[in-house]
Amino acid sequence: MADSYDLIVLGSGPGGYVAAIRAAQLGLKTAIVERENLGGICLNWGCIPTKALLRSAEIFHYMNHAKDYGLIAEKIGADLDAVVKRSRGVAKQLNQGVTHLMKKNKITVHMGDGMITGKGRLSVKGADGKRTELTAKNIIIATGARARELPFAKADGKRIWTYRHAMTPSEMPSKLLVIGSGAIGIEFASFYNDMGAKVTVVEMLDRIVPVEDADVSTFLEKALKKQGMTILTSAGVEKIDVGASGVKAAIKGKDGKVTTEEFSHVIVAVGIVPNTENIGLEALGVKTERGHIVTDAQCKTNVDGIWAIGDVTAPPWLAHKASHEGVIAVEAIAGNHPHAMDPRNIPGCTYCHPQIASVGLTEAKAKEAGYDVKVGNFPFIGNGKAIALGEAEGFIKTVFDAKTGELLGAHMIGAEVTELIQGYTIGKTLETTEAELMDTVFPHPTLSEMMHESVLGAYGRALHI
């Protein structure tokens, strides 16, 4: 006799566990299936532990610049094992927190590999090989994604790493090659650079963090080069030979010439592959595109009773997008009428040094979409709090529709911008205009004043530049 539920969630990452909690709140009998760790990649091997690593690197960076603050710090050193141990401790704490939330909300947890075996049916294979049969009116697929590998650079955990290896390194790299300059690649490049490695980043496109506004990419490249990194754009890694003490990489530069360089380690950060294999999608006829599950605005697939959220679906592949989709899907399942997800209102954050944050259209994308734009740009050097913090490098850029005053996008680089971006995200969600932002009082002295100044600057009214 199968265990029966109103909803089964396959995967317990930030999309899956949030969906399960919201379902329980709405009175649905809910089960969640997880093959590895509650909390999924984000809590255990992604967002959170990487931020713990980056925080350690940030503190180390400041300690090495103590004299800039009138302080004395001598014989500064880093214990990589201790840094990693702290990061794993943070991940463990959050994993335990999700476990508590499952119990609190009376959500049944089934540990094992889940496969959808038919309409409303799911089979879970436990570590002992035994199968548990479940049934439900609705199933949410939240199986996430994994790192994409290069055919000539298969991760071995020793010399060639994915993000998981980079998070628990067996040794400190002396000379590190990072292939790919998206958020994951740049964050690890920033971490290991601050920790003392000599870092080279190779990006096949013509600029790093290519999804960001072009001005942000340009600023970040200059900042990272100033920190000692080597940045190679319009470049590619042609071949990698692994040896006992390192790797040799053949790198084709933008001039078309191929040079061979030696590195101690390589991090491959060239995107993700959705976890859609072996979960029963083919037999059900669930539609996918390039491996990612196709859904409508309510996260429903083409098969009745099957829903999908998070990295297994369309981009952007962000934890907070997955969580919000989980709520949308469950609200729809419960018969409510949730607002559809608007990708233009999903903020993105990259925790390198300096930080990057953005929401909405870049200036180039806004122009491509046919908008006549007004653009504001305010530098950190014009902000008293930034100067007092010793963080006067960066800027905030805003893009408006010149005809309506609609905020189309906001793009930031500098200290704590990952915390500032939510102000503009709320503004976009509320469909704010430049007039409302101008009339808002921002506290002094704060970094947030730059948000106000950037808006004023778009209309020729900036006060402090």
Residues forming the active site: 444
Residues 302 and 356: their CA atoms lie apart, in Å, by 36
Which one-letter DSSP state was computed for residue 318?
Answer: -
How many Å apart are CA 169 and CA 256, to the nearest integer? 33
- Cis amide linkage into residue 354, ω under 30° from 0: yes
Long-range interactions of 244-250: CB distance < 8 A, separation 24+: 246/159, 246/175, 247/159, 247/160, 247/177, 249/177
Beta bridge partners of 308: 141
Torsion from C-alpha of 207, 213, 216, 222, nearest 10 degrees: 20
DSSP string, 188-244: HHHHHHHTT-EEEEE-SSSSSSTTS-HHHHHHHHHHHHHTT-EEE-S-EEEEEEE-S
Q: What is the per-residue DSSP string for 123-147? A: EEE-TTS-EEEEEEEEEEE---EEE
In angstroms, how far is CA 444 from the centroid of its own chain? Answer: 31
